[in-house]
Structure 1
Amino acid sequence: MFAHDGDIAYALVDEPFETVPQGGPHLTAVEAREHEDLPFIWAVVDAVMALDSRAGWLRHCVLGTASVATSGVPAGEEPVLYVSHDGDDGMWQFIGTSDATIVNGRIGHLHHIVELDATLIEVLNIEPGEHATRTHVGGAWTRSDANGRRRRRGPFGRR
């Protein structure tokens, strides 16, 4: 997995999978590209990325997505209770308990904030212009659009 044209892409490696405990074919990337099962493999990769909530974190990690957070959040001193995905510039904001605004915010990579609190994975699928709030870590997220209308999401981010 790697960044490509502002998104993520997948590639086969040129080294055989020699240390796979389950065994299996030892194919080079060239051999694998010619294999009849390759379209199925890419379909599985796409399905896993769409269904696994952790994929949002991985995507942001690979892309180096920038975010801004209130000062106590990246220091691990306070929980994130408000997450915003800006509609105009796509910036992510993580607001904790001590600051009501981002004025003294710290810019960093989104994946570092999620590494401090894995429950944030649940809201990495909010769309630009949406935000999510909760009362405490582990509490249910309430999602809203820019107009304050609540949004409901089913499993895996589907509406």
Structure 2
Amino acid sequence: MRLPSFRRSRFPGERSAIAMHTVIRGELPALVVARSDDDLWLVGDGINEPDSAEIMDLVHLSHLVELDRTLLELADLERGQQADRETVGSPWVRSPFQWLDEEE
């Protein structure tokens, strides 16, 4: 049995993610959160394609949690999973994570 990623539904203060600028600036909500097999966290707005490094940046997850406390629900997201939701307030739906180029 695998233990949850982080105890007490908290991300460690130093835990970072690659997130879209629109989410970091609070312009759009986080609608996609992924944790790759190699433990890279990704946060997207669910609208823009994450195909360019210019639209993403490294940020502490604690900053994103300040903008959206529901991200704490994903502290136990396992490696190789992603969570999506349609709108803020919609439930997070978990599924296996795949890099975009792996889907082709």
* TM-score interval, normalised by the smaller of the two chains: 0.7 to 0.9
Name which of 94, 98, 101 aligns with 1:143. 94
Larger relative strand fraction: 2
Q: Deviations over 1:81-120 (max 9, x none)?
A: 00001112x1111101442215221111111111110011
Asked if 1:84 is matched to 2:10, the reply is no
5 Å-filtered alignment, 1:2-151, equals: 50=7, 52-53=8-9, 56-57=10-11, 60-61=12-13, 64-88=14-38, 90-101=39-50, 103=52, 104-146=55-97
Report the TM-score, using the length of structure 2 for normalisation: 0.78
Query: Which residue identity does 1:107 align to in structure 2?
Result: L
- Distance in 1 separating the partners of 2:41 and 2:86: 19
Paired residues of 1:70 and 1:102 also in contact (CA < 8 A): no
Structural RMSD (CA): 1.8
What is the letter of the counterpart of residue 27 of structure 2? E
Is the alpha carbon distance of 1:146 and 1:73 closer, same or farther for their aligned partners in structure 2, counting shifts above 3 Å? closer
Which structure 2 segments of 5+ residues have no match?
A: 1-5, 99-104
User: Does 1 or 2 have the higher relative contact order (CA < 8 Å, sep 6+)?
Assistant: 2
4+ aligned runs moved over 3 Å, structure 1: none
Q: Secondary structure at the match of 2:73?
A: helix
**Counterpart in 1 of 2:101?**
none
What is the TM-score with the length of structure 1 in the denominator? 0.53
Of the two, which has the highest radius of gyration? 1
Percent pairwise identity: 32
| Number of positions where the alignment pairs a residue of Structure 1 with one of Structure 2 | 91
